[in-house]
Amino acid sequence: MKRFASAAVLVLCAAAVSAQSTTIWDLGELTLEQAAARGLEEFDLVITNTCCKGEVPSFLAKYNPDDLWIYFPAPYGIINPGESKTFRGSIDFSRFRRPGDYSTTVTVVCQGCDPPCEFFIEIKLRIVAPSTEPPESPGSTPDEIDPTASFCGPEIGPALQDAIQRIYDRSLELPSSEIGAWDGVWFLDRNGSGIDIRVTKLINSRDQPVCPTQNCTLPDGQFTVMLCGNCIAEHIGNDILYGVMATMLRLPYLARRAGAYYAEYASYGGVDPPSSQSAYAVGTNIVNAIADGRVSLGDICSLLNSTTHPTVVAVSNVGIVMQDQRAIDLMTEEIGDLKNCLACPYTAPPNVYKDYSRSNWSLSDGTHQDQHGRRINARGEPVD
């Protein structure tokens, strides 16, 4: 389990405070994505007994049980006068689902003291919405760029292959209570909101966008990425991962489609486009093509070209005309002329700043599965 890099230890001397006072521990500000990436982290709370003279009090750390993001496995202990005791605690940053100001108060009671001694530690954290601009990754890119250049975003193939392999391996370790038409739906309800793989765009030393260039960025701010030699919208990688995850959960086709529709409508108020629907099918076909437990980038690229999806091509008084179209055609046509953006010619690899396959997955019994497929409790400890 990770430890806080700073502010890991609080030294609180009761003699330095009044009989009732509050110490603030401000954890600062995190975006939702930063909080999810930090996950579960431990800290030490060190309390020194300078409150009582000649007595042996017990310190009882009391906190609001509704604040599920903070834990004290053993929030009590006896501390002799002049001695210190360390209380081990942990904070689960991944539990935050929406922006806001969060706080909880730990009450430390020195029982048996005369006069009574009680003080408080208020732990505060602000969660903010992620920036509309993803973090940027400088690399081996030129200081001067041709203003007429049209470069697509960075190549995501290896990162996508790695994420699919990890989802495949982890899903095989899921208990049967997470798999199937019913249980799999509830698994997605708990874990499906963050099925993403996001990479940084490349910039040069002058903070100019290089891959993608501004003219290869979509009007809504979403940037393009390269996959198997094709320039596509960034969301396609997320949609392929959804298809992989839903298939590994053994969800029937209609349940997979309903889950995707609900997520799209809840997030954007619309229906998922044909490009996304075809990407789900690519994800399913990738799972079915896995041989010897290994995910092949060659198979991913081949299935982008061979997977088809029924699409409405005409509507008339007579009825609706459907036609099977290749997934890759739907994906490239979605972005119009941007499909002609050139592959990024620079060698700097993109930084993967969000990867669903590395997040902790919540299980139906209240435990979690970590990125290595191990079951852990809320404190990050292994569960047999």
What parts of the chain have a pLDDT lower than 70?
1-21, 32-33, 36-37, 49-81, 87, 94-98, 108-119, 129-147, 264-270, 313, 347-349
Give the per-residue pLDDT at 233: 95
Q: What Cα–Cα distance (Å) separates residue 282 from each residue in 83, 174, 258, 289?
A: 62, 23, 17, 10
Residue 130: per-residue pLDDT: 57
Token representation of residue 232: 């596509």
Separation between Cα atoms, residue 238 and residue 304, nearest integer Å:
14
What's 111's DSSP letter? Answer: T
Q: Which tokens in the block code for residue 45?
A: 């709370």
Which two structure tokens, joined as six digits, stand for 49?
């007994």
Per-residue confidence (pLDDT) for residue 115, from 0 to 100: 63
Question: What pLDDT shows up at residue 86?
Answer: 73
- Sequence letter at residue 166: R
Instruction: Record the tokens describing residue 57, joined without a space.
Output: 């009090």
What is the number of H-type helices and E-type strands within the chain?
A: 8, 22
- Written as six digits, the tokens of 22 are 């509050």
pLDDT tens sequence across 91-100: 777 666 567 7
> Rounded to whole angstroms, what are the CA distances from 12 to 45, 51, 60, 85, 305?
8, 11, 14, 10, 63
Please say whether the beta carbons of 308 and 277 come within 8 A. no
pLDDT digit string, tens, across residues 58-110: 555 555 544 546 666 555 566 666 777 776 777 777 666 567 787 777 776 66
Q: What is the pLDDT of residue 276?
A: 92
> Distance of alpha carbon 296 from its chain centroid, rounded?
24
Structure tokens at 17: 């405070």
Identity of residue 185:
V
Give the list of residues 6+ apart from residue 337 with CB closer than 8 angstroms, or none: none
Residue whose structure tokens are 């079915």: 288
| Cis status of the peptide bond prior to 382, with omega within 30 of 0 | no
- Supply the pTM of this predicted model: 0.64
Instruction: Tell me the C-alpha distance between 288 and 243, whole Å.
Output: 11
Measured in whole angstroms, how far is the alpha carbon of residue 132 from the centre of its chain?
A: 16
- Torsion angle (degrees, nearest 10) of CA 151, 156, 157, 162: 170
Which residues is 123 bridged to in the sheet? 25, 104
Tokens read off for 100: 């806001």
Q: Answer whether 185's CB lies under 8 Å from 251's CB.
A: yes
